[in-house]
């Protein structure tokens, strides 16, 4: 069952050299994402603009395939009276963060970084369980890294969502890929969720540690040195990225591409990695560099934030599987869940 939904590899692993050309790559990636959305969605449904929290940027909001705001989807709260309301900062939107399930290299205790390794059997189970835990939380658009373990986690999780919408990977690797992956049924689009892959959400690149056994590496270089490479904020492993370098690309992408979606009222899920998600959480929770290095994220455990009035409010921060189903539902999310209950009872 799982094999039918998760093998959607996209793009190639980006090397450490991207950091030296970040601005050029960021602009190029943003333009490619907009082109894909324009090919996949009707033109009139695309061109809406909004600003982020600081008001310093105007970013094109990539509307969901289904136009899945409360204006269109009858399951969502009808509290907004017209489409124009979706640009107001008072809108409430859900943000779900999921670290991918265990990978085959996690299982073997190897440094993975940007090597494109799939989930293990345990990781597949974790992704499915994560999907059950968020099955009553609305999702309008999904962002993943360019790595298969994050994409597998997102796809498998959505197979468990009660709304039953199908996640569809948007392909931007070529003009032919964009053209050939178009959907021509409006009804089908309304039952779909766009999935956008971005290398900026990749795990941090571990350089010369990638593929090495963690215990053998500690024996060779010393536990203190390996701990410094893994848990310091600004010290990279040999020819790799530090957490600070990973944060530069991940947070910039979040602010430029994901935050405008939330500001427009879209409910967003991000399936990514320990260090790229730690970087984003550092931004959301305003953590210091010392606080973020002690932050640990379990594989396959969803975290829930609410974006409202320009602020991110953590509504669920489970650190163990036993806590993962405990989310402080807002009134709007509780209403959404009640409507799903009514629909499927």
- Point out the catalytic residue in the list 100, 161, 171, 273: 100
Task: Verify whether residue 186 is a known catalytic residue.
Answer: no
**Long-range CB pairs of 51-56, under 8 A, 24+ apart, other chains included:** 51/260, 51/263, 52/255, 52/256, 52/259, 52/260, 52/263, 53/259, 53/263, 53/310
pLDDT over 60 (residue 3): no
What is the per-residue pLDDT across 174-207, written as a single tens digit (0 to 9) for each? 999 999 999 999 999 999 999 999 999 999 999 9
- Point out the catalytic residue in the list 126, 203, 241, 259: 203
Question: Model confidence at 278, in pLDDT bands (50, 70, 90)?
Answer: very high
DSSP-assigned letter for residue 101: P
Task: Verify whether residue 203 is a known catalytic residue.
Answer: yes
- Residues comprising the chain, all counted: 345
CA dihedral 10, 52, 22, 94 (to 10 degrees): -30
Considering only 61-65, 126-130, 230-234, 274-278, which range has the smallest mean pLDDT?
61-65
Region 280-285: mean pLDDT is 96
Share of the chain above pLDDT 70, in %: 70
Give this prediction's pTM: 0.77
What is the per-residue pLDDT across 238-261, written as a single tens digit (0 to 9) for each? 999 999 999 999 999 999 999 999
DSSP-assigned letter for residue 345: -
The strand pairing partners of 98, in sequence order, are: 271
Q: What is the largest CA-CA distance in the chain?
A: 64
What is the per-residue pLDDT across 126-167, written as a single tens digit (0 to 9) for each? 999 999 999 999 999 999 999 999 999 999 999 999 999 999
What is the per-residue pLDDT across 35-83, written as a single tens digit (0 to 9) for each? 444 444 333 333 333 334 444 333 333 433 433 333 335 455 433 334 3
**Long-range CB pairs of 281-287, under 8 A, 24+ apart, other chains included:** 281/97, 282/247, 282/251, 283/247, 283/251, 283/254, 283/255, 284/312, 284/314, 285/312, 285/314
């Amino acid at each position: 069952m799982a094999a039918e939904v998760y093998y959607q590899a996209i793009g190639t692993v980006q090397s450490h050299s991207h950091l030296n050309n970040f601005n050029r790559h960021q602009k190029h990636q943003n333009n490619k994402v907009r082109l894909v959305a324009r090919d996949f969605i009707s033109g009139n449904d695309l061109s809406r603009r909004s600003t982020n929290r600081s008001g310093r940027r105007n970013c094109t909001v990539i509307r969901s395939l289904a136009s899945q705001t409360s204006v269109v989807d009858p399951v969502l709260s009808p509290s907004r009276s017209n489409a124009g309301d979706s640009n107001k900062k008072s809108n409430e939107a859900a943000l779900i963060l999921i670290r991918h399930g265990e990978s085959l290299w996690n299982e073997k205790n190897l440094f993975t970084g940007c090597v494109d390794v799939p989930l293990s059997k345990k990781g597949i189970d974790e992704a499915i369980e994560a999907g059950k835990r968020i099955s009553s939380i609305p999702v309008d658009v999904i962002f993943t890294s360019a790595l298969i373990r994050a994409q597998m986690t997102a796809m498998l999780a959505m197979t468990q969502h009660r709304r039953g919408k199908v996640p569809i990977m948007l392909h931007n690797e070529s003009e032919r890929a964009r053209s050939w992956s178009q959907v021509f049924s409006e009804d089908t689009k309304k039952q779909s969720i766009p999935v956008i892959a971005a290398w900026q959400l990749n795990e941090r690149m571990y350089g010369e540690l990638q593929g090495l056994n963690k215990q053998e590496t500690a024996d060779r270089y010393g536990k203190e040195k390996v701990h410094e490479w893994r848990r310091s904020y600004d010290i990279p492993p040999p020819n790799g990225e530090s957490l600070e370098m990973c944060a530069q690309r991940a947070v910039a992408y979040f602010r430029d591409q994901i935050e405008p979606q939330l500001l427009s009222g879209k409910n967003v899920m991000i399936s990514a990695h320990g260090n790229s998600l730690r970087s984003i959480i550092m931004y959301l929770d305003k953590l210091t560099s010392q606080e973020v290095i002690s932050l640990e994220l379990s594989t396959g455990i969803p975290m829930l934030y609410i974006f409202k009035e320009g602020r991110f409010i953590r509504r669920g921060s489970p650190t163990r599987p036993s806590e993962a189903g405990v989310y402080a539902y807002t009134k709007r999310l509780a209403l959404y869940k009640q409507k799903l209950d009514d629909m499927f009872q």
